A and B are shown apart, each in its own frame.
Chain A
Amino acid sequence: MLTEEEKKEIQEEIKQYPYPAVACIDALKIVQNHRGWVSDESVRDIAQLLSISNEEVDSVATFYSRIYRKPVGRNVILICDSVSCMILGYESLYNYISKKIGVSFGGTTSDGRFTLLPISCLGDCDNAPVMMINNDHFNRLTIEKIDELLDRYK
């Protein structure tokens, strides 16, 4: 069941469009914003609200890389693995973080604190290497900075 708040936010988006289905991506983002990810149940709820099929909603949800169809940890670490960050050594950052939290790309720590994911270029290549934690952006990273950074996210 969508919460009243989620429904209200989605209705707000629908208003600016000619028909409700247009709000599909917005709706997925709203639900993910509240719950961290989008479950099968949420897909069905969104489909109902927008008067489209579950399959249509799921086809959109699975197309976009920033919609999670599986649960993620409380904090999501996104390490840029594109070319400029590769040249500037993202791999050593990855190795360090992966060892420190004990999971590889795609994994979530057993305490649910972190999910570690690779991400394509974050548009800050002149300040490589770059990563994001949740909505926060960090650049010119060195291994020395990592411990303190991760400590901020509980």
Chain B
Amino acid sequence: MERPLTKHIKPGSVSLNMKDYIQLGGYGNLQKALKNIAPAEVTALVKASNLLGRGGAGFPTGVKWSLIPMDGDKSTPKYLVCNADEMEPGTFKDRYLLEGNPHQLIEGMIISAYAIQAGKAYIFLRWAYKKAEKILREAIADAYKSGYLGKNILGSGFNLDLYVHSSAGRYMCGEETALLNSLEGKRAMPRTKPPFPAISGLFGRPTVVNNVETLSWISHIVEHGAEWFKGLSLTPTGGTKLFGVSGRVKNPGTWELPLGISMRELLEEHAGGMTPGHKFRGALPGGASTDFLIEDHLDVKLDFSTVAAAGSRLGTGTMIVLDDKTCPVAFIHNVEKFFALESCGWCTPCREGLPWVEKMLASIEEGTGKMEYLDLLNFNAKFMGPGNTFCAHAPGAAEPLQSGLKYFHDDFVKHITDKKCPWR
């Protein structure tokens, strides 16, 4: 089983430095691309590989790049932005790549910037990732020193400056248009789409935003080609994926595995099964903004389309497990409280709905909830769903709520009829 993204990541999160990275052939693919492959061909190669974005939405990366105008005005730059905000509860995969192999990301970013002919690139980093920030700043300085960044990279005539922006903390910054506002020094409110960032992004210029894991793939795809990439997954999608598991499992962690492995295999073989004395009740398969899957779904293949067919989303691929010693109402309440707190306040179903949902869940958890709350919760979940709000924050918040109400209905009812939490 191949693990291209993580095979050189040393245990104990020691970062792979410039010297070691180069010894492993690092920056060779950058040289190859700059010398032998035209920008449009790099984009065509990524398109052919069918690399789907690893930030949660699974949009085809090559298609996104091909929307960038390649002929226009060259006097002001185009931009490439790496989304390293990773603030969704239960998500910790990008951190592993950032700390473990920063040059893999930087080389991927330089090649990607070359493909769209961007002159400036940013890494938008989650505020809490202090260690990753230090590692990235050092790695970028090393890349400048070796002539991989700056003016006339490796004599190709291509120029690129790369900056790290450490965020000031807000989940909304991860939404790509809110991220652009934040990079411009404003509040992280999402923008109207269209125009899409590919036409009018950072400072009104064509911009591509991609996730850390997505960009970490690019040099590998340049090296081995599209067919190789497609062959890495068990399903037709292509590629491996970083999967993670947290909650009461024996061996929580992150693993690079082929897309299409089953949920059972991830939980049992890699996460080691449940902690003794705990039973599996369900899981959010791809971070806090995805629908619950339950025991019936353990054989679902973990890929974008297969998880969607089971009624949820692969999201970020990092799973949060609900066990039988944890109250499902408390679990859902915790998640909805996060979403309520992080709403940017623009749309009614999100700004008004989420605090209402949070309050009802709190009172059910405390044993003062009423039966009619269940209908009201479902009503709000519908309102927060796709199409009613400006960005995907509220639809994301609706997912664990609507599925939780469905799968853990009896637990909700018991809280209300017994007027207390059975887990306390």
Binding site for B on A (CB under 8 A): 16-18, 21-26, 28-29, 59-60, 63-67, 81-84, 86-88, 119-128, 132, 135, 137
Say whether A83 contacts B89, CB under 8 Å: yes
Instruction: Note all chain B residues with C-beta closer than 8 A to A23.
Output: 185
User: Which one, A22, A86, A123, contacts B92 given CB within 8 A?
Assistant: A123
Say whether A123 contacts B87, CB under 8 Å: yes
Is the CB of B258 closer than 8 A to any CB of chain A?
no
Those of B293-323 within 8 Å (CB) of chain A: 318, 320-323
Say whether B95 contacts A120, CB under 8 Å: no
Say whether A60 contacts B92, CB under 8 Å: no
Say whether A120 contacts B342, CB under 8 Å: yes
Give chain B nearest CB distance to A90 CB in angstroms: 10
Instruction: Note all chain A residues with C-beta closer than 8 A to B92.
Output: 123-126
Say whether A124 contacts B130, CB under 8 Å: no
Give chain A nearest CB distance to B4 CB in angstroms: 22
Q: Which of B92, B129, B330 is most buried by chain A, counting CB atoms within 10 A of its CB?
A: B92
Binding site for A on B (CB under 8 A): 86-92, 95, 126-131, 161, 163, 166-171, 182-188, 203, 244-248, 252-254, 288, 318, 320-323, 326, 330-331, 334-335, 338, 341-342
With contact pairs A123-B128, A125-B246 given, residues A83 and B335 touching in the complex (Cβ less than 8 Å): yes
With contact pairs A66-B127, A120-B342, A126-B92 given, residues A87 and B168 touching in the complex (Cβ less than 8 Å): no
Instruction: Note all chain A residues with C-beta closer than 8 A to B184.
Output: 22
Instruction: Note all chain B residues with C-beta closer than 8 A to A29.
Output: 166, 168
Q: How far is the CA of A123 from the CA of B341 in the complex (A)?
A: 17
User: Which one, B163, B188, B244, contacts A63 given CB within 8 A?
Assistant: B188
With contact pairs A29-B168, A66-B127 given, residues A87 and B248 touching in the complex (Cβ less than 8 Å): yes
Q: How far is the CA of A17 from the CA of B331 in the complex (A)?
A: 43
With contact pairs A64-B170, A83-B335, A84-B247 given, residues A135 and B130 touching in the complex (Cβ less than 8 Å): yes
Give chain A nearest CB distance to B271 CB in angstroms: 9
Q: How far is the CA of A17 from the CA of B161 in the complex (A)?
A: 12
Give chain B nearest CB distance to A83 CB in angstroms: 5
Query: Which A residue's beta carbon lies closest to that of B205?
Result: A18
Give chain B nearest CB distance to A117 CB in angstroms: 11
Say whether B187 contacts A63, CB under 8 Å: yes
Say whether A123 contacts B188, CB under 8 Å: no
Instruction: Note all chain A residues with C-beta closer than 8 A to B167.
Output: 64, 66
Instruction: Note all chain B residues with C-beta closer than 8 A to A83.
Output: 89-90, 288, 320, 331, 334-335, 338
7 contacts between A and B (CB under 8 A): A16-B163, A17-B185, A18-B203, A29-B166, A65-B170, A87-B331, A132-B128
Instruction: Note all chain B residues with C-beta closer than 8 A to A28.
Output: 168
Q: How far is the CA of A114 from the CA of B188 in the complex (A)?
A: 29
Say whether A21 contacts B185, CB under 8 Å: yes
Query: Which B residue's beta carbon lies closest to that of A84?
Result: B246
Say whether A87 contacts B247, CB under 8 Å: yes
Instruction: Note all chain A residues with C-beta closer than 8 A to B248.
Output: 87-88
With contact pairs A67-B168, A126-B244 given, residues A137 and B91 touching in the complex (Cβ less than 8 Å): no
Instruction: Note all chain B residues with C-beta closer than 8 A to A84.
Output: 89-90, 246-247, 320
Q: Which 3 A-B pairs have the closest CB atoms?
A: A64-B168, A66-B169, A125-B246
Q: How far is the CA of A25 from the CA of B181 in the complex (A)?
A: 11
Query: Which B residue's beta carbon lies closest to that of A136?
Result: B130
Instruction: Note all chain B residues with C-beta closer than 8 A to A66.
Output: 127, 167-169
Say whether A128 contacts B246, CB under 8 Å: yes
Instruction: Note all chain A residues with C-beta closer than 8 A to B131.
Output: 137
Q: How far is the CA of A65 from the CA of B186 in the complex (A)?
A: 14
Q: How far is the CA of A64 from the CA of B128 in the complex (A)?
A: 13
Say whether A120 contacts B341, CB under 8 Å: yes
Instruction: Note all chain B residues with C-beta closer than 8 A to A132.
Output: 128
User: Which one, A25, A82, A128, contacts B185 given CB within 8 A?
Assistant: A25
User: Which one, A24, A119, A126, contacts B246 given CB within 8 A?
Assistant: A126
Given contacts A82-B334, A125-B318, 20 further A-B contacts (CB under 8 A): A21-B185, A25-B168, A29-B166, A59-B187, A63-B170, A64-B188, A65-B168, A82-B89, A83-B89, A83-B331, A83-B338, A86-B326, A88-B248, A119-B128, A120-B342, A121-B87, A121-B338, A123-B95, A123-B129, A128-B252
Say whether B330 contacts A86, CB under 8 Å: yes
Q: How far is the CA of A60 from the CA of B169 in the complex (A)?
A: 12
Give chain B nearest CB distance to A2 CB in angstroms: 17
Q: How far is the CA of A82 from the CA of B337 in the complex (A)?
A: 9
